[in-house]
């Protein structure tokens, strides 16, 4: 990746960090989960409201605190999730989010980037009563409540 390209993505990440999309809470959400990255103690809570079909994500919000990568990745995820079905998002490959982030991440940073996605998946699986997919097994250090 060229330096200029890399720089552009760093600016996109910084913009999401400074102006997070979907920051806030939803009262009486249809799906909700809290996730924590025990490496740093950062926490994120995610709230989802479904459309009348009970499957399409009408609204999704997040609150919590964390580093720039975790907050920016969660902000990007909010934009990527609205209008999609709970099933689609619950089974989203982590690569899809990583493509959106578009800068190389160290293993520690990868955990930061996955905090929001893992928490959102847990919220959706809890709401739908479906078991967590195997893809989440690699993140078992991530404490999810
Ligand atoms: Fe805590 Fe990144 S340092 S989530």
pLDDT digit string (tens) for 90-113? 999 999 999 999 998 999 999 999
Q: Give the distance (Å) from ligand 1 centre to CA of residue 133.
A: 23
Note the pLDDT of residue 90. 94
Give the pLDDT confidence of 2-39 residue by residue, as tens digits.
Answer: 678 778 888 999 999 999 999 999 999 999 999 999 89
| Structural domains of the chain in order of their starting residue, each with its CATH number | 3-144 (3.90.1010.10)
Q: Which two tokens stand for residue 77?
A: 């995820």
- Regarding the beta carbon of 69 and ligand 1, being less than 6 Å apart is answered yes
Say yes or no: CB of residue 66 within 6 Å of ligand 1: yes
Task: Give the per-residue pLDDT at 131.
Answer: 82
State what percent of residues in the chain have pLDDT above 90.
78
Q: Rounded to the nearest whole angstrom, what is the distance from the C-alpha of residue 55 to the centroid of ligand 1?
A: 30
CB of residue 70 inside a 6 A radius of ligand 1: yes
DSSP alpha helix (H) spans, 40-145:
68-81, 86-90, 94-101, 107-128
Q: Residue 40 CA: which ligand 1 atom is closest?
A: 1
Binding site membership of 102 for ligand 1 (Cβ less than 6 Å)? no
Q: What's this model's pTM, rounded to 2 decimal places?
A: 0.89
Q: Cβ contacts of residue 145 below 8 Å, gap of 6+?
A: 33, 34, 35, 36
8 A C-beta contact, residue 47 and residue 62: yes
> How far is it, in rounded angstroms, from Cα 1 to Cα 105?
13
């Amino acid at each position: 990746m060229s330096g200029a390209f890399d720089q552009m993505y760093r600016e996109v990440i910084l913009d999401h960090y400074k102006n997070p999309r979907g920051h806030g809470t939803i009262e009486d959400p249809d799906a909700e989960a809290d996730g924590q990255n025990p490496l740093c103690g950062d926490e994120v809570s995610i709230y989802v409201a479904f459309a009348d079909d009970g499957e399409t994500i009408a609204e999704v919000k997040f609150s919590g605190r964390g580093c720039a990568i975790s907050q920016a990745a969660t902000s990007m995820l909010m934009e990527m999730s609205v209008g999609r079905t709970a099933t689609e998002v619950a089974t989203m490959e982590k690569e899809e989010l990583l493509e959106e982030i578009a800068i190389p991440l160290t293993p520690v940073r990868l955990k930061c980037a996955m905090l929001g996605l893992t928490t959102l998946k847990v919220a959706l699986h809890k709401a739908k009563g479906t078991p967590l997919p195997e893809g989440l097994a690699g993140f078992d250090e991530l404490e999810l409540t």
